[in-house]
Amino acid sequence: MTRSGLTPVLMRAAESHLRHADPVMAGLIDHHGPCVLAERSHQPFHTLVTSIISQQLSARAADTIERRVAQLVPSPFRPEDLLQVPLERLREAGLSTRKATYMRELANRIIDGRLSFDVLASAADETVIEALVELPGIGRWTAEMYLIFGLKRPDVLSLGDAGLQRAVKMLYCANKRRNISLERIAENWAPHRSVASWYLWRHLDTVR
Residue 127 has a CB neighbour count (10 Å cut-off) of: 12
Q: Give the DSSP letter string of 48-89.
A: HHHHHHHTTS-HHHHHHHHHHHHTTSPSSP-HHHHTTS-HHH
Distances from the Cα of 78 to the Cαs of 2, 44, 61, 85, 126, in angstroms? 21, 9, 22, 12, 25
Q: Are 101 and 87 in contact (CB under 8 A)?
A: yes
Q: Which residues contact 3 (CB under 8 A, 6 or more apart)?
A: 121, 122, 123, 124, 151, 153
pTM of the model: 0.86
Domains of the chain with bracketed CATH: 8-39+156-207 (1.10.1670.40), 44-150 (1.10.340.30)
Predicted confidence at residue 128, as pLDDT, reads 96
Q: Is 180 helix (H, G, I), strand (E, B) or coil?
A: coil
The arithmetic mean of pLDDT across residues 198-204, rounded, is: 95
Predicted confidence at residue 160, as pLDDT, reads 92
pLDDT beyond 70 at 177: no
Q: Are 29 and 51 in contact (CB under 8 A)?
A: no
180 versus 31: which is more confidently predicted? Answer: 31
Burial 57-69 (b: 16+ CB within 10 A, else e): eeeeebeebbeeb
Residue 198 CA, distance from chain mean position: 9
Predicted confidence (pLDDT) per residue in 92-140, tens digit: 999 999 999 999 999 999 999 999 999 999 999 999 999 999 999 899 9
Burial 170-195 (b: 16+ CB within 10 A, else e): ebbeeeeeeeeebeebbebbeebbbb
- % residues pLDDT > 90 (the chain): 79
